[in-house]
Chain A
Amino acid sequence: MSGDERFGLDRRVRLAGPLTLDSGAQLAPVEIAYETYGALSADGSNAILICHALTGDQHVASAHPITGKPGWWVRMVGPGKPIDPERHFIVCANVLGSCMGSSGPASLAPDGSPFAMRFPVITIRDMVRAQAMLLDHLGVGTLAAVVGGSMGGMQALEWAATYPGRVRSAVVIASAARHSAQNIAFHEVGRQAIMADPKWRGGDYYAAGDPPAAGLAVARMAAHITYLSEEGLTAKFGRRLQGREAVSFGFDADFQVESYLRHQGISFVERFDANSYLYITRAMDYLDMAEAHGGQLANAFRGTATRFCVVSFTSDWLYPTAESRRIVRALNAAGAQVSFVELESPFGHDAFLLEAPELNRVVDGFLRAVA
């Protein structure tokens, strides 16, 4: 496979398409930025697709080109890890609508200027369809596994529902098969923060080179709270003050937690496009796999031969265990082979990205059994 330009880090491909979206719109061409690790076995049986979360990217186990930070899932992916390039052919692609090289609102439309809000509204299933096009291009027929946390888990579920014949197993971590009213509500706060920023300019801010950074930072701050837990925030910051002995009787970041959130917001805008944030949060809000299958989530998986592994975390209130149990119940009703475990963690939704030996043990055991 060496010498084949399709494989390796930091790849980009322009696929002719057209890709027909859930909205009815068509997208052509479709650009996808992706990375591959390891080599596809002769019988093609060792391919694993990793799906990233809302603000994630294709750099699952390689340094981020802007921040220089290590890949976002090096605890799960790498030599000696459950997903191992020595054994697996690993693909991770930037989702449709994002801003790390795949087609999204910042991409150029046929008229030569950025799509901005002319980019069609997409769904989680549209992201999955684009990934399927990429796998066709890479010569991958069937996946040994599709693995994802959070929005990545939603894609894994949609993969199993949309292409049951191409997915031998699915690992769904800290995720859900629908967005709840609370999930939508938090996303709407983020979107309104972006659109209320005068620099947003109806989405046409690319030419001015002055994006709605303040609005996007606030969106990130609100969202970041949902990724943590009260317990975690209390342990990390409590009511401790930031670099001062007493409160300032003003509106500086008196508290460490304020300072932390501001930092999260500011560093986020350096690497993410505000319009992409609008489009991807919308895609997540539109997810309701039961509604898409006659009101019964089980119908999405009826007769499936895919094996499922569902994992939740005790302190995750963004996609709580009840949402995972709902998936498991549907899979049982559909007669699917499913494993489920709720793991103990104080770190909230973000637990799936952190050091979690039990998670690695479960995923490793599950994937080895599938192989």
Chain B
Amino acid sequence: MTLRRDLRVIADMVPAGSRVLDVGCGDGALMAALRDEKGVEARGIELAAGDVAAAVARGLSVVQGDADTDLGDYPADAFDVVILSQTLQATREPAKVLDELLRIGRRAIVSFPNFGHWRVRLSILLGGRMPMTAALPVEWYETPNIHLCSIDDFRALAASRGAAIDGARFLSRSRPVSAVFANLLAEQAVFLLRRG
């Protein structure tokens, strides 16, 4: 089975044999790949009961829960890597969630849609409307994404929470983008963080 491109980027950042918590793991596609390809011991948290059932049926250990409220259940340093893919922008308190990721895990991998992408900017600048793009396909009044940010916003957040950036990958139409122009050209960002 082929992984979605952004999940593949995340998978490549995870060391083989490590202990991983995937927060917002969906049906467990990334966890299953990490287990099967890299011998990773993976655990997951997912809000949607149907996705939890699907992940459990894959033999994965997944707990139904919420990134905003349930990360406190995990002891400090319980994992080598904690993954939060395409979920940060949907949390109520992203800064607190980021703190929790780096308390539970020695490293965190965070991916999110870039609200600084030129299409987003143009949509507001010229169209005067909230953007709808490939990475942000839902109307403003229905979107779960209540805390969107640009890549530079995220860099600032990480710095303010004392998180060091150990690596980053930027994607546009699933193709890599260089870090220099990422805030304008990348649709998605994947950051590898550690406690600073």
Contacts and interface: CB of A to CB of B under 8 A. Distances in A.
A365 B61 contact: no
B58 interface: yes
Given A335-B78, A339-B61, A339-B63, A328 B56 contact: no
A337 B20 CA distance: 12
A328 B63 contact: yes
Nearest to A307: B61
Contacts of A333: 73-75
A364 interface: yes
Interface in B43-57: 43, 49-50, 52-53, 55-57
B88 to A, nearest CB: 21
Contacts of A344: 49
A369 interface: yes
A253 B75 CA distance: 55
Interface string B54-73: 01111111111100000001
Nearest to B64: A341
A332 B57 contact: no
B75 A341 contact: no
Interface residues of B, number: 20
Contact of A362 (B53, B63, B74): B53
Nearest to B75: A333
A338 B61 contact: yes
A125 to B, nearest CB: 26
A40 interface: no
Contacts of B78: 332, 335
A214 interface: no
Contact of A340 (B50, B60, B64, B75): B64
A282 interface: no
Contact of A338 (B58, B59, B63): B63
Contacts, number: 66
Contact of B59 (A329, A340, A358, A368): A368
Contact of B52 (A307, A332, A341): A341
Contact of A341 (B43, B56, B73): B56
A333 B49 CA distance: 22
Interface string B67-107: 00000011100100000000000000000000000000000
Contacts of A309: 56
Contacts of A263: none
Interface string A322-352: 0000001100110101111111100000000
A358 B48 CA distance: 13
Contact of B60 (A335, A339, A361, A364): A339
Most buried by B among A337, A339, A365, A370: A339
Nearest to A335: B78
Contact of B49 (A307, A342, A364, A370): A342
A306 to B, nearest CB: 12
Contact of A339 (B50, B62, B73, B75): B62
B57 A365 contact: yes
16 contacts: A307-B61, A328-B73, A329-B73, A332-B78, A333-B73, A333-B75, A337-B61, A339-B52, A339-B63, A340-B62, A341-B49, A362-B57, A365-B56, A365-B57, A365-B59, A368-B59
